[in-house]
Structure 1
Amino acid sequence: MFLEILRFEFSYRKNRAATYLYFFILFMLCFAAATSKYVTIGSAAGGQLQANSPYSLSFMTIIMTFAVTFISSAVMGVAVLRDFEHKTESLMFTTTMSKFDYLMGRFWGSFFVMVLIYSSIWMAFMLGFSIGKFLPWDPSWKEKVMHPFDIWHYFQPFIFYGITNLFIQATIYFAAGTLSRKPLVIYTQGIILFVLYEITGTITQDLENKDLASLIDPFAVRTFQIYTQYWTPAQKNNLLIPLEGMMLWNRVLWCGIGVLILVITYYAFSFNVVTSSWLKKKKVVKETPLTIKPENVLIPAVHQFTNFSANLIQLWEQSIFYAKMVVKEIPFIAIVFVGFTDLTINSFYFGEMYGTSSYPITANVLGFLGEFDLFFLIIVVFYSGELIWRERTVNINLIIDALPVPDWVGLFSKFLGLIVIYIGLLFCLVFFGVCVQVAHGYFNFELSLYFKTLFTDELIFLTAFTLLSFFIQTIANNKLVGFALMFVFFIINLFMSGAGIEHPLFSFNSGSLGSYSDMNKYGHFVSSFSWMKLYWLAFVGILFILSVLLSVRGTEVLMQTRLKIGKLRLSKPVLTFGITVLITFVAAGGYIYYNTNKLNKYFTKEDQDKIQADYEKTLKKPFDNAPQPRIVDVNLNVEIYPEKRDFTAEGYFWLKNKTAKTLNDIYIQNDIQHNMNIEYLKFEGGAKIKKTYDDFGFTIYQLNKPLASGDSVKMSFKTIYETKGFVAKGSNTDIVYNGTFFNNGYLPSLGYSDGFEIGDDDTRKKYKLPEKERMMEQNNPIGLSQSLFGDDSDYIRFEMVIGTSKDQTAIAPGYLQKTWEKQDRKYFHYKMDVPMVNFYSIISADYQIKHDKWKGVDLEIYYNKGHEYNLDKMMSSMKASFDYFDKNFAPYQYRQMRIMEFPRYATFAQSFANTVPFSEGIGFIQKINDPEKDLDMPFYVTAHELGHQWWGHQVAEAKVKGNAMLSETQAQYSALMVMKHAIKPELMQKFLKYELDKYLSGRARESKKEQPLALVESQGYIHYNKGSVVMFALQDYIGEDKVNKALHDFLADWKYPSSDGKYKRYPTSQDLLKYFKAETPDSLKYIIHDMFETITLYENKTDKVTYKVLPNKTYEVSIKAISEKFRADSSGNEKPITLNDWIDVGVYGEDKDGKDKLLYIQKYKVSKKDNTFKIIVKEKPKKAGIDPINKLIDRHSDDNVKTAVLEENL
């Protein structure tokens, strides 16, 4: 009987049109992903990664199980439920079949259909990658190297991961439908699965939780990502993901859970016709007499009235009725419960950075409460459909439709019922947010901000999607089709921008309040937000009117008939309301268009790419690297108007011809990216405009008097930044109401700007441009003559006057000469007394100031009131940094250092001459809960930025490969050494562990080619993260004093270089390496080659650690370890190399608090793969291993240390 039922179920599904529709949808989606540049699945390919690599195919196959979830619920969830819906269970349950045959036949019959539907994925990928190059359109991988065809690369992920994911989903949906017999319960199971996946992403913010995250992800997506997190492009292009390690354990666990669910379903299912729900007990009905003798029956007089007041009463009563009905639903309770559970788990990892959390300021809490949007959307989609179909589901629709109630009351009451629920949930979110703040010991709740945000942005978002869902359900006139159409709508929304449809007028519910800043509040985003939301509310208002006109009332369901009935429903009030919202929609849309396309220039991404391509094609050949003078003096008057978000800059540059040639022409590049307008620009002695390239803001001026070598000329100008209305996208967050922060990039520069060229090689191919090298070679004379700060200047004299609002403080590099007020504005005059690099910031905000001193140097922190949390830590870091840098590198060159907070639109700090703008989003709100466990990130970031006053400002490197090793890597080292002397070694190891993880993850995502540290090309994962590990290891191997001596000598020789300085060029990483090599013993010189000049990796692993107690009460620890060494090329191809290295071997004990305590660490010469170390320690060992502090680049550093076991226990 089992086989008969299986065949019946399979045949039933095979003959359903929906089965072929599901197959077709999946096939076309995957085929488009394989052959189109507009559709991507998981962004698996790109750069060096081949589109059809084993990694890409595996990742896309696993990701597609998300899309299949909806189909799985529709197929597996109703296998048994269908009998109850069609009232055929009495026929099925009274036959001779067994419960096992019935359930398993239904399950496996439906499951095999799901496998066939899912097979469309590998078929589409295989066909798409095979014929894609012959199609009339260009696939994204055209002209790229592709992996040779191998059918196993398509089958292996489908079998190992796709089918197992299907089985897990199938058991859950089958159990939900079989035991609950409610469709909505089926759909909510997918939510739980997705939340589990989301949780795995949250907990991996802590590196210690990666194994746990790998296990509990039901889709194995996170497991896949963690397993391959350090794979290089070469590995991804050639290796299949094996079913081993955590990938295997994840599949075993979840397939086991799936089997367990089937077993529970079997025993919990009642194979009887008359039964109660599995989840509910039968209610005891109180018996009443069969007959009742009426006495003095009074029939009340009924007075019917159907005016507008009656309609409002009915509207309110029905709204409350529908709201109560929904909140009592178990699926609704489950959705809300799971949503708040997800938020609760996320609250434990609040704003983490290197394992250190942030203060739960209300802006941050609102950001993480936004994760509830997913659950809101689920409620919107499912309960819109449930309410629209409520009466028809319980077969009372004809009775309700016959009542004397206007058409709009029924639909609007369902909408208002959901709005009541949303408002209730929003209050719950406010309460939850406050609870999170209290739990973190924070009590500045800012309730007004909660309500302003949640009851505007969030409520409008919910209103818009609810009315859209109502409209789709009304038009579809089929609940499941309505759900499917909403799903399709979300999918289309994802791909619209990729297809070039980017304007907010076409992006549903567009309009954002932006990131809330304690400094700038919601700022200028409020205006565009208000107009966008008015536009979309008017649009969904139109949809609601159409829903009312076309809603089914009675038995007529054909669209043609509904259109005729809709004309009859078009009463005067409905028509008036419709015209009103239509006028509002058109007027708001017109005003938005006027702002985004008339007052401002609107560009799609393709438009922007074309401008950049044309810029390079037109200007590069004649003007790139053409001789130009250099800026040597800057004197400006800057007027900032925060309330209008405008500024002007007027003054002059002195330009000096440092070339050997006489210059006739000067090339001026205006900043067109920020729509700067040059009001005038003139040269002393006169000049005429020779040619202008308006599209590129590039102008050639011919001097009346040619500029001889060594001569200078004064260039006077005035440039204006004016805010006009609002833009469609990319709103400027540099010029704001409070917290303006911009730099000299807004001002005119000299010569061709290669920074405006397209960087992405794929886009460059599209416009027939050659591949772009990220940086010049180290021996390129042009690059050697230019610093990282640009090719139009070296060191400059600097003076600036800044005017701003009277309640704000304006800051620029230099020293404040005087301040004054004039015409209700405040002015600040700054002047630098020594030459500085041509890189300066201009800041204006309402500040509080914290003062201190270090050896006569004024220390100041300009901060937003209320952000006093870490000021002492930052001030302490400034003092400790100056102590260390002044002693070991060179004296500090200025008499003042200022840190200035700026809004959290960006989250970085940046070092300018004696000034450091510092985002409110990092150091100012980081929370150090336990100094013994938490990394003090405000302390570290401050030290890093102060390090740049030496590395970048005293020594500015050449604009060639490896340049960031001189600035960023040495600033990292400087901060590391300050931290090393301020925190415990265990915290230092924790920091290095994060840095190692970020480096290894970064090289796995490399899009062009990985470089050794000494040749780094603006690759942050190398010069920041690898740089930290390498420099810490270097000082450990050769000694901190020797590294510092090398840096001291390097600084002394290369300080303040320029094209006319001592060396006639700027330094490179090779220059610095000479100083490191001079301080390194011959026996350790291999370290320089391995760490700086090549890509060298280690595989160190501890196999076994045992110990025994010696007669003298000491402990002999035996460590068996494996060590291997590899050399990698720029793509990640590795080969083993000879090992003959000094490597740490360490033993840990336990202190009185139960924490790890390092008992012993010593370097051993390791020259073979298998090694045994015997060590005597005085205290009982807890664990031991090789390279325990992770000083070497080891991809699997978690296995370096193992727990020690007493030998007699073995």
Structure 2
Amino acid sequence: MIIDLLKFELKYHFGQISFKVAALLFFILGYFCVVQGGFGSEDVHKNSPYVITNIIVLLSLFSIFSGTLFSANVVLRDNLYKMEAVVFTTSIKKRPYFVIRLLGLIISVFSLLLLVALGIYLGTFFIAADRLGDFRITYFLQPLLVFALPNVLFSAGILFCTTVLTKNVRAIYVVGVLMYILYMLASIFGNSPLLATSTMKAGSPDILPLLLDPFALASFFGETRTWTDLQRNKQLFPFDGAFLLNRLLWLGFTALLVLITYRLFNFRLQQQQQAKIKAAKAEPVELVPYRAFVVFSNGSRYYLNTFFAQFKLEMIFLFKNIPIMVMLLLWVFLFGVELKDKLFSGIYGIHSYPATGIIIEEIRSMKFGLILIVFYAAETIGKEKSVNIHSLIYSTPVQYSALWMAKNLSLFALVFILVTLNIGIGIVLQLTHGYFQIELPMYLSLYYYSAFPLLLFVVLVVFIQNLSANKYLGMLLSMIVIFLVSYAERFGLAHYLFRFATVPDLLHSYFNGFGYYANAFNWYMLYWSAFVIVIAVLTIGMWQRLVEIKIKTRFRSIGLTLKQYKWTTVLALLLWISCAAFIYHQTNTIGKYKNKQDQLNWSLAYEQKYKALAGLPQPVIKDVKMSVDLYPNEGKYTIKGTYRLKNESKLPIAKIWTYVSPAVNSFSITIIESEKSKRDEAFNQQFITLKTPLQPNEEIMMDFSVEVIRSGFIPFNSENSVVKNGSYIELEKIVPQFDYCYNFESEDKRERKRAGLPEIASKPNLNNTYELIHLETTISTAIDQQVITVGELQKNWIANNRSYFRYKTSIPINFMFALSSARYRVKKEKYKGVDLRVYYQSGQEYNLKSMFKAVRDALDYGNAHFAKYPLKHLTIAEIPQYKGAATAYPGVVFSAENINFLGNYSQKDAIDQSYAIAAHETAHQWWANILAPANVAGYAMLTESLAKYTENVLIEKTFGKMYLRKYLAYDNNLYFLNRNNNERELPLAKTLDQPYVHYQKGGITMYAVKELIGEKKFNTILSQLIIDHENPKPKATAADLVNALLKQVLPKHKKFINDCFNEVVTYDLDIKLINCKKLMNGKFKIDLEIDAERLANGDKQLPDLEVDLACFDQLEMDWEPDIKPVYTQKLQVSQRKTKLSIIVAHQPKTVVIDPYGYVLDVDKGDHVAVVE
């Protein structure tokens, strides 16, 4: 009998249309993820255990949604269809009934994940053989059994218990959402890489967050994010430690909850208590004569009365219940925790001031609210049917438009409540942290920027839900549509004309608000509003009246509705088409839109057409004189300029080959002495044939003009941004340049191979000589703005209601020049003959003192140890916080607002990033400007790595070595977090477009070399590098520094130097306390064991490392930044196990290997041994 009941239950589950649609969806997702998904570098096999587990783990989250639907639709069916009286009087007993319903739910949900595995397997047949490894069934079975099955047991168990105990659909929805929130909280505390900020945080989570994640995603991603490609290809996820405890904990919790539910479950009808009727004293009732009332069922008054009556009912239904209150409280809790985490636990532990501008950018996106819209739209649309009064309602003359409007407005109210709660969260967080600059207009803007897209989704979801006779199918279809819209770019629909109510992520800045995308946002909202008006008319025309009415009949009724709303529909369509035409013109015509594939094809075609011409002799730019007219309010600028060109080659030049950036809308390039000119508009190339070839050492003048239009209809480029306040343009990337541009090439290995192009190995060294220029720039901008650029300000004036600024360089500079234009305040200081200036926004003076100190310290250190600073000024100019932290140019640093000017570094344990970044960017005056390396692989080691070294040394000298230890720990963790993301890691001396190598690893490595050979010796080598390779001598390469080091270090250190720069090597260190014994003389003998391994190419090898050993009088948790060790020694580690004894004056609390944190080790938690 049990088997028969289970067969019947599963047949009922599998027969539901919602299950069939979900099954197809999960299968497609499995196939799509393995074929199109990216899970690490190209060396990670598509059928590796890591990739398969990754997909199954992620999609197991969707089991919450499918389990919610199946619980409400199938498990609760006896209650919904009033069949409990029949079922409970049959011979079926309580236990089999309970078990069969539970098993049916578990098996149906788990079968969806089996289909995911099937989709993955079949998808591998459509993947190139070189992307696949060996097939092993265990790669599928292990994630299904240790991840998918426990996750399904948990989610299905919780939902089943809720269903059985409450028999309330909305309670099921609340629990479904609660589980998502529980996962989100565990992700926040566990630093899950699925969160946008996680990859920017350092440090491993404690065991508690790993245990609190019921789906174990934090355990999986936290462990595997530092795995090598070899591990990802071969290694199954270890079923031990915190992960094993997590599985046991939540399986035990689920089993206990199911057991309790079984005990509480009553296998009988719940009798409604009859209210006692009090006997009432009979009183005579006066008869009222009958009067006939005339009822008008037409006209605006009746329409409004019915609308308001229905709206009142909808609002009561939606909000006057406990589940929605619980849901809203959960919303507040989740967003409050997440917002606090983002503000006060950023990269390097950065704490931001809770400024309104920062908060509204964090809370603007409310995609999570779409889940609530789907749930409550289904309940609202099906409300009348659920209580069987739909026949009564639709027998009245009420207009369907009144019902449609009432239901939509009630859902609109839900959206506005969510926005209001978010605003409340932001304000409360500000007040509780002592920040009282509450900027209400910014908050109120969220009712437009946050709410409006969701309102459009409300209309769409109501349309889908109304179209479906089954509300659970409608919910599933709605989620599918939302998924397709959210990931439309993955399906080739990148253009926002085809992505419903979707706009680029709005970027907020105190300079300009949401300015860049604001105008485009308005047009997209108008465009989709016109579309949803049509959707609304169709919804009203096909309004669900009776279940029995077929879909064909409902489609036929559209004609009557269209006739009724003829002009509304026509005007909406005209508006929609007009908006589409305008957006298309702005995006495709003016903005020269290219989707990802178009851009790839463009890059491949450019290389195929012009690569063979690379390296032809071309003139060198000697002088640049420009006039830049910036129009912030119009989002455009023009440049007119003249180059003085010189032929520094040994051959005559008959044809000059020049190009401009694809971002340029129009350009003109002329040379008076030219004979003819040929242009390639597709690639912005121009070939100019001279009347007389330019002979060696001869010069010629070239005139040019360019126009650039920037608007919110094209992707935002933080390096080419024109906004009403806070424009920032890196001009050297816009003005004409010569020869072949390697930056235009595509780095996609597979597409390059398909196109017959070779793999990019490294940048070619076409020229290792300096090509410095004299620069003179005249810039006009809005009358109330100040312009900052490279050079010294010669003059500024006002004319034609515009402000003009003329800058000129005092010495030749590299071909690097940018500008910013904004409404600035300025703080000035004179320091040892150098004019220091910081241009900033009013009200953002928090970190100016720290920035000035960093600049002074960096100038002193650079002048003392590297070379004399060549300029008489150094300027820092604040720019909007869009991407990155800062950018250095000769004599100018452009510094981002949030991290530098709005970061709160007043806490004692905070790393002062305003100091660190200012020191780093000032160091670039030596490491990028005075010494400009050859543009080859390893270039960034001589710029970013050495700037990080200078930054680290200045932090050490200013704040102490143990303060720096914390900073290096962040760099160490960020390096390991990012090293296995997308590509094979290159050695530091050959680094190429891998920031985690030349920033995080490079800074740590340079500091380790300093500790090995001494600061004075290392700085002498660096100073000599500048002497040997500054202008006019040949440019330096990474090999020059490595060779210089190898010549200077002791023979025993040469292998370590080679490992640092020419190999990809990390270490695994571990220290253990064996014994601590007090000696007769009162001193203490401490016996230690050190485990050490050298990790390279996936192999564990013998170490060859000199490292520090130190003792401290405090436990690690009590270390202050100024703590000093009570004992130190240098230790040469050359064996996997090293036993040693040390004698100390008194018993310390801790013994530490690598106390200053300059050894690259993925787990530094075992570097400290507690002395007991």
Q: TM-score range by the shorter chain?
A: over 0.9
User: Quick one: structure 1 residues 83 and 1151, their matched pair in 2 at CA, closer, same or farther if it must change by over 3 Å?
Assistant: closer
Cα offset for 1:657?
Answer: 1.5
User: Quick one: structure 1 residues 906 and 418, their matched pair in 2 at CA, closer, same or farther if it must change by over 3 Å?
Assistant: same
Preserved contact between residue 1055 and residue 1104 of structure 2 (Cα < 8 Å): no
User: Quick one: structure 1 residues 595 and 1053, their matched pair in 2 at CA, closer, same or farther if it must change by over 3 Å?
Assistant: closer
Scaled by the length of structure 1, the TM-score of the pair is: 0.91
The AA in structure 2 aligned to 1:667 is: W
Aligned with residue 666 of structure 2, among 664, 677, 687? 677
Preserved contact between residue 642 and residue 702 of structure 2 (Cα < 8 Å): yes
Query: Aligned equivalents of 1:298 and 1:432: distance in 2?
Result: 57
Aligned with residue 440 of structure 2, among 431, 447, 464? 447
Preserved contact between residue 1102 and residue 1121 of structure 1 (Cα < 8 Å): yes
Q: Deviations over 1:864-902 (max 9, x none)?
A: 122222111111111121122222212111110001111
User: Quick one: structure 1 residues 19 and 814, their matched pair in 2 at CA, closer, same or farther if it must change by over 3 Å?
Assistant: closer
Aligned with residue 1001 of structure 2, among 1016, 1026, 1029? 1026
Cα offset for 1:555?
Answer: 5.9
Q: Deviations over 1:707-742 (max 9, x none)?
A: 22222222122222245x763544785122212211
Cα offset for 1:570?
Answer: 5.1
Equivalent runs, 1:479-558 vs 2, <5 Å? 479-512=471-504, 514-554=506-546, 556-558=548-550
Aligned partner of 1:702 in structure 2 is 689
Aligned partner of 2:567 in structure 1 is 576
Partner of 1:349: helix, strand, or coil? helix
Query: Aligned equivalents of 1:1124 and 1:726: distance in 2?
Result: 52
Aligned partner of 1:136 in structure 2 is none
Cα offset for 1:1111?
Answer: 6.3
Aligned with residue 164 of structure 1, among 125, 150, 160? 150
User: Quick one: structure 1 residues 345 and 1023, their matched pair in 2 at CA, closer, same or farther if it must change by over 3 Å?
Assistant: same
Aligned with residue 226 of structure 2, among 203, 224, 230? 230
Range with greater deviation from structure 2 (884-893 or 284-293): 284-293
Q: Deviations over 1:512-554 (max 9, x none)?
A: 5721211122224232211111111111111111111111224
Aligned with residue 408 of structure 1, among 366, 383, 401? 401
Aligned partner of 2:964 in structure 1 is 988
Task: Tell whether 2:719 aligns with 1:750.
Answer: no
Aligned partner of 1:142 in structure 2 is 128
Preserved contact between residue 556 and residue 562 of structure 1 (Cα < 8 Å): no
Aligned with residue 1130 of structure 2, among 1146, 1159, 1163? 1163
Partner of 1:922: helix, strand, or coil? helix
Q: Deviations over 1:99-151 (max 9, x none)?
A: 4433223212432343334222222222331x32xxxxxxxx43634202222
Task: Tell whether 2:905 aligns with 1:928.
Answer: yes
User: Quick one: structure 1 residues 735 and 766, their matched pair in 2 at CA, closer, same or farther if it must change by over 3 Å?
Assistant: farther
Cα offset for 1:285?
Answer: 4.8
Q: Deviations over 1:812-861 (max 9, x none)?
A: 21111122222222221111111111111122111100111211111101
Task: Tell whether 2:1105 aligns with 1:1136.
Answer: no
Preserved contact between residue 357 and residue 510 of structure 2 (Cα < 8 Å): yes
Aligned with residue 756 of structure 2, among 768, 779, 786? 768
Aligned with residue 884 of structure 1, among 858, 861, 884? 861
The AA in structure 1 aligned to 2:488 is: M
Partner of 2:959: helix, strand, or coil? coil
Equivalent runs, 1:456-475 vs 2, <5 Å? 456-475=448-467
Aligned partner of 2:791 in structure 1 is 814
Query: Aligned equivalents of 2:751 and 2:1025: distance in 1?
Result: 41
Preserved contact between residue 615 and residue 766 of structure 2 (Cα < 8 Å): no
Task: Tell whether 2:623 aligns with 1:633.
Answer: yes
Query: Aligned equivalents of 2:1003 and 2:799: distance in 1?
Result: 49
Range with greater deviation from structure 2 (585-594 or 297-306): 297-306
Preserved contact between residue 813 and residue 912 of structure 1 (Cα < 8 Å): yes
Preserved contact between residue 927 and residue 944 of structure 2 (Cα < 8 Å): yes
Range with greater deviation from structure 2 (1090-1099 or 468-477): 1090-1099
Q: Deviations over 1:156-203 (max 9, x none)?
A: 222222222221222112112111212232233332232233234433
Query: Aligned equivalents of 2:896 and 2:284: distance in 1?
Result: 80
Q: Deviations over 1:7-64 (max 9, x none)?
A: 54345435556555443332233234445x4xx3xx3255222211221111112122
Task: Tell whether 2:382 aligns with 1:389.
Answer: yes
Aligned partner of 2:181 in structure 1 is 195
Give the share of equivalent positions with the same residue, in percent: 27
The AA in structure 1 aligned to 2:27 is: F
Range with greater deviation from structure 2 (297-306 or 1176-1185): 297-306
Preserved contact between residue 80 and residue 103 of structure 1 (Cα < 8 Å): no
Aligned partner of 1:604 in structure 2 is 595
Preserved contact between residue 1107 and residue 1181 of structure 1 (Cα < 8 Å): no
User: Quick one: structure 1 residues 512 and 1091, their matched pair in 2 at CA, closer, same or farther if it must change by over 3 Å?
Assistant: closer
Range with greater deviation from structure 2 (478-487 or 1172-1181): 1172-1181
Preserved contact between residue 958 and residue 1066 of structure 1 (Cα < 8 Å): yes
Aligned partner of 2:725 in structure 1 is 738
User: Quick one: structure 1 residues 310 and 813, their matched pair in 2 at CA, closer, same or farther if it must change by over 3 Å?
Assistant: same
Query: Aligned equivalents of 2:356 and 2:914: distance in 1?
Result: 20
Task: Tell whether 2:1018 aligns with 1:1043.
Answer: yes
User: Quick one: structure 1 residues 481 and 764, their matched pair in 2 at CA, closer, same or farther if it must change by over 3 Å?
Assistant: same
Query: Aligned equivalents of 1:426 and 1:605: distance in 2?
Result: 34
In structure 2, the gaps of 5 or more residues are 192-200
Q: Deviations over 1:572-606 (max 9, x none)?
A: 4x333333323322222232233333444332222
Two-structure CA RMSD over aligned residues (Å): 2.6
Aligned with residue 360 of structure 2, among 342, 353, 366? 366
Query: Aligned equivalents of 2:289 and 2:728: distance in 1?
Result: 78
Q: Deviations over 1:972-1023 (max 9, x none)?
A: 000111111122433311111111111112221242x322212212311111
Range with greater deviation from structure 2 (406-415 or 425-434): 425-434
Preserved contact between residue 422 and residue 459 of structure 1 (Cα < 8 Å): yes
Partner of 2:722: helix, strand, or coil? coil
Task: Tell whether 2:577 aligns with 1:591.
Answer: no
Aligned partner of 2:1037 in structure 1 is 1068
Query: Aligned equivalents of 2:1090 and 2:92: distance in 1?
Result: 61
Aligned partner of 2:198 in structure 1 is none
Partner of 1:718: helix, strand, or coil? strand
Preserved contact between residue 928 and residue 935 of structure 1 (Cα < 8 Å): yes
Query: Aligned equivalents of 1:166 and 1:84: distance in 2?
Result: 24
Partner of 2:986: helix, strand, or coil? coil
Partner of 1:84: helix, strand, or coil? helix
Aligned partner of 1:789 in structure 2 is none
Partner of 2:958: helix, strand, or coil? coil
Aligned partner of 1:29 in structure 2 is 29
Partner of 2:1109: helix, strand, or coil? strand
Partner of 2:427: helix, strand, or coil? helix
Q: Deviations over 1:294-333 (max 9, x none)?
A: 5335579656444313422432343233123212233322
Aligned with residue 1066 of structure 2, among 1097, 1102, 1109? 1097
User: Quick one: structure 1 residues 308 and 234, their matched pair in 2 at CA, closer, same or farther if it must change by over 3 Å?
Assistant: same
Scaled by the length of structure 2, the TM-score of the pair is: 0.94
User: Quick one: structure 1 residues 59 and 300, their matched pair in 2 at CA, closer, same or farther if it must change by over 3 Å?
Assistant: farther
The AA in structure 2 aligned to 1:802 is: I
Preserved contact between residue 1066 and residue 1095 of structure 2 (Cα < 8 Å): yes
Range with greater deviation from structure 2 (1140-1149 or 58-67): 1140-1149
Task: Tell whether 2:855 aligns with 1:864.
Answer: no
Q: Deviations over 1:1160-1182 (max 9, x none)?
A: 33222323323334344455533
The AA in structure 2 aligned to 1:465 is: F
Query: Aligned equivalents of 1:291 and 1:393: distance in 2?
Result: 39
In structure 1, the gaps of 5 or more residues are 133-140, 277-281, 777-781, 787-792, 1129-1133
User: Quick one: structure 1 residues 378 and 15, their matched pair in 2 at CA, closer, same or farther if it must change by over 3 Å?
Assistant: closer
The AA in structure 2 aligned to 1:1126 is: L
Partner of 2:676: helix, strand, or coil? strand
User: Quick one: structure 1 residues 84 and 956, their matched pair in 2 at CA, closer, same or farther if it must change by over 3 Å?
Assistant: same
Partner of 2:391: helix, strand, or coil? helix
Task: Tell whether 2:216 aligns with 1:220.
Answer: yes
